[in-house]
Amino acid sequence: MSVELLDFESLKDEERDLLSDANLQILTFFESAISSSPKPSVDEKAKRFVTDLIASAPDGQSGTNAESFVMSTWQVLT
């Protein structure tokens, strides 16, 4: 079975004006986790995504409060 990677570039290009820097960073984290080697399990990809999110959370460097950060994450994922 062949594995085709998801391409997020068109989404980034189309939505660049609508996405804040923080949202673009969240999308980049998601893309990085999903596009990581096909070998890692879904659990490992989810862990990588959450680890990156936590590292940039409000008490990290995102510059937003927790509620805004959660809403931004959901906005990007949906």
pLDDT tens string 24-54: 888 888 888 888 777 778 899 889 988 888 8
46-76 residue pLDDT tens = 899 888 888 877 664 545 577 777 888 888 7
Task: Give the residue extent of every domain in the chain.
Answer: 9-77
Q: Residue 12 and residue 24: Cα distance in Å, rounded? A: 8
Highest mean pLDDT among 4-8, 11-15, 17-21, 64-68: 64-68
Q: How far is CA 65 from CA 25, 72, 75, 78, in A?
A: 16, 11, 15, 20
